[in-house]
Amino acid sequence: MTRKTLLMYFFIICLFVPLFSYASFYEGDKYQGFYYFEELNHKSKQTNEEENFKPQTSEEALYLMEVEKKRLDGARALAILNPSQKNLLDYFEKRNRIIDRSVVFSERGAITLLEHPKFGPEPKNPTTSFGIEFRKKQEEKGKEHVVKKLGETFFLLVVGPGEEDWAELAASIGESFQRTLDWDVRFLTTNKKPSISTLKTHFNPHLLGSLNLEETPAFFMVEPEQGKVIPLGAGAPSVSHLMENILLQASNHALLEDLLHEPY
Instruction: State which amino acid sits at residue 180.
Output: T
Per-residue confidence (pLDDT) for residue 34, from 0 to 100: 40
Residue-wise pLDDT for 195-230, tens only, equals 999 999 999 999 999 998 999 999 999 999 988 999
- With a cut of 60, say whether residue 42 has pLDDT above it: no
- With a cut of 70, say whether residue 264 has pLDDT above it: no
> Closest Cα to residue 191, out of 221, 175, 213?
213
109-119 exposure pattern, b = at least 16 Cβ within 10 A, e = fewer: eeeeeeeeeee
Bigger pLDDT: 212 or 169?
A: 169
Average per-residue pLDDT for the chain: 82
Per-residue confidence (pLDDT) for residue 16, from 0 to 100: 43
How does residue 11 score in pLDDT terms, banded at 50, 70 and 90?
very low
Per-residue confidence (pLDDT) for residue 258, from 0 to 100: 58
Per-residue confidence (pLDDT) for residue 122, from 0 to 100: 67
Per-residue confidence (pLDDT) for residue 130, from 0 to 100: 80
DSSP string, 230-260: EEEEES---HHHHHHHHHHHHHHTT--TTGG
Bigger pLDDT: 32 or 225?
A: 225
Domains of the chain: 59-114 (no CATH), 142-261 (3.40.30.10)
Residue-wise pLDDT for 250-263, tens only, equals 999 888 875 655 55
Distance CA 253, CA 21 (A): 90
Per-residue confidence (pLDDT) for residue 55, from 0 to 100: 87
Distance CA 219, CA 216 (A): 9
